[in-house]
Structure 1
Amino acid sequence: MRMSSTGTPSGPLSRPLVILLGMASLVVATAGVRAFRDTLGPAFLALVLVVTVHPLQARLRRRGVPGWIGVVVVMAAIYAILAGLLAALVVSVARLVTLLPDYRPQFENLLHQGTRWLEDLGVQPEQASTAIGRLDLSKLSGVLQRILSGLTSAGSSLVFLVTLVFFLAIDCESFTRRLDVVAGSRPLLVAALRDFARNTRRYLAVSTLFGLIVAALDVLALQWLAVPLPLLWGLLSFITNYIPNIGFVVGLVPPALLGLLEGGVVRMIWVVVVYSVVNMVVQSFIQPKVVGNVVRLSATLTFLSLVFWAFVLGPLGALLAVPMTLLAKALLIDADPSAQWLRPLLGDTAVETDTADVSAP
């Protein structure tokens, strides 16, 4: 250890102190992002959408199409995606709100059956009536109406998102050339950013493919079980497939509730079983393996990223958990030469393969 001019010891910080400082910085950064999540969430969504659609703009430019036409096409595609997603969510909640009052007699019958079941288990009639009486269909309708009003009143965030997409689409035309200039002095950073864009597009492509498969299976199952509006709930299942691990639970609630009201407990159980089997086979066994190989993230890191970003950015963070983690990995690990050893630990199999090739005789 060296001594400074003032007589105090100086030198490199110890590893435990570095870890503590890193954790403290992470807490401060997380609190800052969480405080501005109403702005940062839509901003990152706009970035992901522009990155996803950018190859269309590049393809048009290679074919000699004027740049402004490519910008218009990109913006039109992104606005169509946003309108479709928002319309699907609003229609799903609105249809459920309008359907629930029609099932009030069935709901009252289920409450009476639940009361008798509790009494058969030895619960006092007064206690059973009090416990069952807390269940009210109007309370559920009120919750759904608040969700619907929240979706329809997100006007400021939507205007900000649409405006930011406009400017990002314009800058995207020249951003590739700027990266080429920066690559001369910061090759790892540019490679990491391009890898982030490539992996984000791969992740969305794989999630879309598996979402279509899951949605088709769910629609067929709901038609077989005679659950109302199977196509609508299949569309909701497709959208929630972009949320890793727990997305199917969100898409399960409306058809399971309608199955309960339409055909009783048995039909609801069948809906839950079918959704669970489809999720277990496709979303829990096949999709995580494919996604992990495509974006080079382990299944554990994918799940932890869902928990973390949902806490930081709310529901939008759950939807963007994997792209957000890919961006953080690109900036903090892939672009840092001293942090390359962390990549295999995070599930980057390409690094393992390269290492194995180098070490092979």
Structure 2
Amino acid sequence: MGRFENQGVAYKGFAIMAFLVVILAGIKAASPIVVPFVLSAFIAVICNPVIDWLARYRVPRGLAIMVLMVFIVLMGLWLASIVGSSINEFSQQLPHYRDQLVQQFSWVIDKLQAFNITVSRDQLLAYFDPGIALSMTTNMLSSVGGVMANLFLIILTVVFMLFEAQTLPKKLHFALDDPDMRLKQIDKFLHSVNQYMVIKTLVSMGTGLIVGIGLAIIGVDYALLWGVVAFLFNYIPNIGSIIAAIPSVLLAFIQIGPGAAGMTALLYLGTNMVMGNVIEPRYMGRGLGLSTLVVFLSLIFWGWLLGSVGMLLSVPLTMIVKIALESSQSGGWLAILLADDVSSPSGQQAASDDIEAETPRD
């Protein structure tokens, strides 16, 4: 009997893996449709608390949605025009910046040779081209801008999602055969995702604002562009701030000098230490943390699956998976593996849920 049970478990595992492969292949094939939908869902989650806040002051929900959408469209068009022009100018200057960076890199190689450290210049530049960091930033922003070209479809989807936001929890209860509203995990899941996205967006906006103003004071070109980059990459903790700081530090080094590059690096370091280690944990708590390895792997996975938008939303998407696993009795163990600390509140809660589910009741 035991052998047949083990075979059944193995077949079940293979079936689940095949099921996941088919789903992921379908998502990747349908990414031109899936990416705008995912982006619309995140925008709707961020906007829903503002709609609820306006509803408390007896503003009709339809009017509040329309006013907010008009404001978002106007701000988006204004920001897109400024950032788009900055990207175009920066792209035109990119070969010049790249050549200057290569010259500075060659100077480092010459200094190494002075200490009898022989390095092949052409081979080293072929493997470690310092201009790639600048090119990657512009390419990623251009890819995100390409997705935003479907602005009308995204805004229309957000409007319909916001109109359905009030009835979505009830539909989920009925869809999961819980008409008496006893399934508290659904409410906890929706509230946790909403709270995480809103707080993360506000912290990211503050980070981008501080970085943009600081770079403008230092005198680095395209300060608004780098502020937008800092805002977007702040959704990726641990490594996102490093990726966002590299092109700004390199540009400050080329444009002004080593002192400005050092001040730029300190600006990013100080901003991310305050926002990431003081402000964000105070309002969000440390229970939603992911391990550094999971953050890096999620960046690769979601970037492969959904492109540049998947890279920017990799951590929020992984957080949704983690919160969903925490809300289920059978997935708590996987949520613990995704967490950054076993002793975190979320990990303890998931573990306690599993223990409680496995304990026989009288």
Shared fold, TM over 0.5: yes
Residue number among 222, 234, 237 corresponding to 2:227 in the alignment = 234
Which of 186, 192, 199 is the equivalent residue of 1:206?
199
2:31 paired with 1:37: yes
Per-residue deviation, 1:72? 1.4
Post-superposition CA distance 1:286-325 (Å, at most 9, x none): 5785687366344354554334322321221122223323
Q: Which moved more, 1:166-175 or 1:341-350?
A: 341-350
Task: Say which of 226, 250, 255 aligns to 1:257.
Answer: 250
Q: Which residue of 2 is the match for residue 296 of structure 1?
A: 288
1:168 paired with 2:166, answer no
Q: 2:18 is paired with a residue of what secondary structure?
A: helix
**Higher mean C-alpha displacement, 131-140 vs 196-205:** 131-140
CA distance in 2 between partners of 1:270 and 1:306 (Å): 28
Residue matched to 2:309: 316
**2:240 match:** 247
Q: Deviation digits for residues 89-128 of structure 1, max 9, x if unmatched?
A: 5344234235557769966864774575466466899x65
Structure 1: how far apart are the matches of 2:215 and 2:53? 40
After superposition, the Cα gap between the structure-2 partners of 1:304 and 1:165, relative to the gap in structure 1 and judged at 3 Å, is same
Question: Counterpart of 1:71?
Answer: 65
Question: 1: distance between equivalents of 2:114 and 2:168?
Answer: 70
How far off is 1:197 after superposition? 3.2
Query: Please, what is the CA RMSD of the aligned residues?
Result: 4.8
Question: Aligned residue for 2:43?
Answer: 49
Return the alpha-carbon distance in structure 2 between the equivalents of residues 19 and 40 of structure 1. 27
Are residue 352 (structure 1) and residue 344 (structure 2) matched?
A: no
Task: Give the secondary structure class of the aligned counterpart of 1:205.
Answer: helix
Stretch of structure 1 that moved more, 244-253 or 137-146: 137-146
What pairs up with 1:17-32 in 2 under 5 angstroms? Answer: 17-32=11-26
Q: Which amino acid aligns with 2:33?
A: T
Q: In structure 2, how many angstroms separate the alpha carbons of the residues matched to 1:59 and 1:258? A: 42
Q: Per chain length, whose mean CA-contact separation is higher, i.e. which structure has more relative contact order (CA < 8 Å, sep 6+)?
A: 1
CA distance in 2, matches of 1:322, 1:137: 27
SS at match of 2:221: coil
Q: After TM superposition, give the deviation of residue 228 of structure 1 in Å.
A: 3.2
User: What pairs up with 1:179-198 in 2 under 5 angstroms?
Assistant: 185=178, 191-198=184-191
Change (3 A) 1:164 1:30: same
- What is the Cα deviation at residue 43 of structure 1? 0.6
Q: Deviations over 1:187-211 (max 9, x none)?
A: 7896444333322332233324433
Change (3 A) 1:155 1:329: closer
Contact in 2 for aligned 1:182/1:190 (Cα 8 Å): no
Counterpart residue type for residue 299 of structure 1: S
| Runs of 5+ unmatched residues, structure 1 | 3-8
Higher gyration radius (CA)? 1
Change (3 A) 1:310 1:89: farther
**CA distance 1:173–1:135, shift in 2 (3 Å):** closer
1:93 pairs with one of 87, 92, 107 = 87
Instruction: State the TM-score, normalized to the length of structure 1.
Output: 0.70
Structure 2: gaps (5+ residues) = none
Residues 179, 103 of structure 1: CA spacing in aligned structure 2 closer, same or farther, 3 A cutoff? closer
Partners of 2:182 and 2:335 in 1: CA distance = 15
Structural mapping, 1:112-191, within 5 Å? 113=107, 116-117=110-111, 120=114, 128=121, 150=143, 153-154=146-147, 157-172=150-165, 174-175=167-168, 178=171, 185=178, 191=184
TM-score w.r.t. length of structure 2? 0.70
Q: Is the 8 A contact 2:233 2:240 kept in 1?
A: yes
Distance 1:234 1:295, change over 3 A: same
Q: Which amino acid aligns with 1:196?
A: F
Look up the equivalent residue of 2:203 and give its one-letter code.
F
Tell me the CA shift for residue 181 of structure 1.
5.6
Q: Decide whether aligned partners of structure 1 residues 197 and 119 sit closer, same or farther in structure 2, where only a CA change above 3 A counts.
A: same
Q: Which stretch of structure 1 is more off in the superposition, 33-42 or 187-196?
A: 187-196
